[in-house]
Amino acid sequence: MKKKGQGDTEWGVRAVIDGSATWGYSWAYMDTFKARTDREIFIDIGDNSWVWIADSISHEVGHSMGLSHDGDPSEEYYQGHGTLGDDTYWAPIMGWTNTEVSPYGLSQWDKGEYTQADNSEDDLSIITSKNGFGYRADDHGSTMATATEIDLSTTYVVEGNIEKNTDLDYFEFAVGNGQLHLKIEPDNLSANLDILAILYDNAGVEVARSNPSNTITAELNETLSAGTYYLAVDGIGFDDPASDGYSDYGSLGYFQVIALSATPPVADTNAPTPNPMTWLSVPTATSADSITMSSSVATDAEGAGVEYRFTGTAAGQPDVDSGWQSGNTYVATGLAAQTQYSFVAVARDTSSNFNETAPTAAATATTEAQSSGASGTVIYNTIDLETWTEFSIEIPAGATNLVYSITGGTSGEDEVDLYGRYGKWPTPSKYDCRPYEYSNEETCTDANPPEGTLYISIYGYQAASNITLSWSYE
């Protein structure tokens, strides 16, 4: 069990359970869990009960990992607090679970949160940082989106572990109309985990929760409508650590989900509505190469999600297909100019059957004509100092590769600056293009300019003569 080096994957200590009363007490070597020599811990069987032996092993392993005793001013081993006989009677592992007082209580790693604690060391931090290992990997997703799918047709549905006190384990399942009765329980042999269980519907709305005050087992017993639901399992605290409770700090460990009763889901064979699907906004051309459209918003009676698909055809052109998508709006791009396209839309649910609606009625739209392009040149004989010389051009829909530039003047003797802005005259602080060249050779480009007016201004940083403004688009 010794740690042989960096490549070693298994190490620890060996527990020797002594029934001979050789020592009369349990003991361990401190800080030996990852020692390079074999070390044992010795366990006295005490009253020979499983809880005595189990807690003794945990306690002495704690010493081997570097932990000290948890006590208070009156005793070296704090024996716990709470209501006698309840599962929530609590004691620290590095104190002592008095089996004569409350044999089935909760024992946990702690950090000295109880009243008059004489040891405030952070057990979990020491264990996971000084012994060659950290926390175990998360076994189930911690959100609805990453939930583990489970089948409630068997009694013992799934097992899990709360690895950290920040961990949540989510499970997804489907039920039919009727009763759901789940029991979520920790290990029944000296557990470390107190369980909070929360039931959510498919929209993430809380339906029910369970965390009884006198037991560490959670139980949900609800009448549900058919659909998809989510179960979240969390390690929880109880009341106030300073009185008769404990925080969620050490509420970690094993649990299992037991299905006492669950109504099987009925296979979903119904498509979403409306069926056939209908248009919310029929296809409409927005440029020479794009058409936008929206179907009606579909709903699924069984509570499943809904996806949408848009397909289009045009004579002599490749087919258009959005693929299945979550949104009900689609913009088809890369289309041929001045071409009529015919589109239909469908929806389907996200059940295992993927039930699909009949398509919408076909609707057509024709893309706009491609711009034939234009160009022009203006020569300004003089541009005065600190004045704006203004010019504008109209950019048609579908225009591409816009270029406008200035040249001319006398290098080193005069300088002007080019500004461009769509929709409004540019200012020193508001513009769409401002090249900032230290000469009169300045150019602005835009591969896909918007339809409308482009306002161009030339500012006389110095007085200048014979400045040429040129522009073009395709």
Confidence class of residue 101 from pLDDT cuts 50, 70 and 90?
Answer: low
Q: Angle at the Cα of 216 (from 123 to 202), degrees rounded to 5?
A: 105
> What's the pLDDT at 83?
85
Q: What is the CATH number of the domain that holds 445?
A: 2.60.120.380
Q: Residue 411: pLDDT above 60?
A: no
> What's the pLDDT at 5?
66
**What residues are paired with 418 via a beta bridge?**
458
Are 382 and 463 found together in one domain? yes
Are 283 and 238 found together in one domain? no
Q: Residue 8: pLDDT above 80?
A: no
Are 162 and 248 found together in one domain? yes
247, part of any domain: yes
Are 284 and 333 found together in one domain? yes
DSSP helix/strand/coil, 126: helix
Q: What tokens appear for 344 in the block?
A: 């239909």
212, part of any domain: yes
Tell me the mean pLDDT in the region 282-305.
91
> What's the pLDDT at 98?
66
Are 410 and 341 found together in one domain? no
Does residue 236 or residue 380 have the better pLDDT?
236
Tell me the mean pLDDT in the region 20-29.
80
Confidence class of residue 18 from pLDDT cuts 50, 70 and 90?
Answer: confident
Q: Residue 1: pLDDT above 70?
A: no
Q: Sheet containing 306-313: which strands, arranged edge to edge?
A: 320-321, 306-313, 340-349, 363-366
Q: What is the CATH number of the domain that holds 286?
A: 2.60.40.10
Query: Is residue 180 within 8 Å of 222, Cβ to Cβ?
Result: yes
Are 184 and 254 found together in one domain? yes
Q: Residue 35: pLDDT above 90?
A: no
Mean pLDDT of all residues in the chain? 91
Q: Residue 467: pLDDT above 80?
A: yes
Domain boundary among 312, 336, 366: 366
Query: Is residue 444 within 8 Å of 404, Cβ to Cβ?
Result: yes
Confidence class of residue 55 from pLDDT cuts 50, 70 and 90?
Answer: confident
67, part of any domain: no
Are 357 and 432 found together in one domain? no
Are 205 and 295 found together in one domain? no
> What's the pLDDT at 103?
60
223, part of any domain: yes
219, part of any domain: yes
For the chain, the residue count is 474
Least confident of 146-160, 408-422, 444-458: 408-422
Q: What tokens appear for 229 in the block?
A: 């639901």
DSSP helix/strand/coil, 412: coil
Tell me the mean pLDDT in the region 395-414.
84
411, part of any domain: yes
> What's the pLDDT at 369?
81
**DSSP for residue 172:** E
91, part of any domain: no
Q: Residue 102: pLDDT above 60?
A: no
Strands 206-210 and 90-92, bridge-based pairing: unpaired
> What's the pLDDT at 2?
66
Domain boundary among 307, 342, 366: 366
Name the residue with tokens 């009363």. Answer: 21
Are 170 and 217 found together in one domain? yes
Are 199 and 287 found together in one domain? no
Rounded to an integer, what distance in angstroms lies between the CA atom of residue 16 and that of residue 55? 14
Split into its structural domains, the chain has a count of: 3
DSSP helix/strand/coil, 15: strand
Domain boundary among 230, 262, 294: 262
Range of 326's domain? 279-366
Query: Is residue 192 within 8 Å of 108, Cβ to Cβ?
Result: yes
Query: Is residue 168 within 8 Å of 138, Cβ to Cβ?
Result: no
Q: In this predicted model, what pLDDT tens digit does every residue of 334-364 receive, in sequence order?
A: 999 899 999 999 999 988 789 999 999 999 9
Q: Residue 24: pLDDT above 70?
A: yes
Confidence class of residue 398 from pLDDT cuts 50, 70 and 90?
Answer: confident
Tell me the mean pLDDT in the region 57-77.
95
Rounded to an integer, what distance in angstroms lies between the CA atom of residue 326 and that of residue 217? 39
Query: Is residue 357 within 8 Å of 348, Cβ to Cβ?
Result: yes
Are 253 and 318 found together in one domain? no
Are 320 and 409 found together in one domain? no
6, part of any domain: no
* Amino acid (1-letter code) at residue 304: A
Q: In this predicted model, what pLDDT tens digit does every residue of 141-175 receive, in sequence order?
A: 999 999 999 999 888 889 999 999 999 999 999 89
> What's the pLDDT at 189?
75
Tell me the mean pLDDT in the region 16-31.
83
Which residue from 216, 194, 214, 251 is spatially nearest to 82, judged by alpha carbons? 214
Rounded to an integer, what distance in angstroms lies between the CA atom of residue 376 and that of residue 263? 76
Q: Residue 435: pLDDT above 80?
A: yes
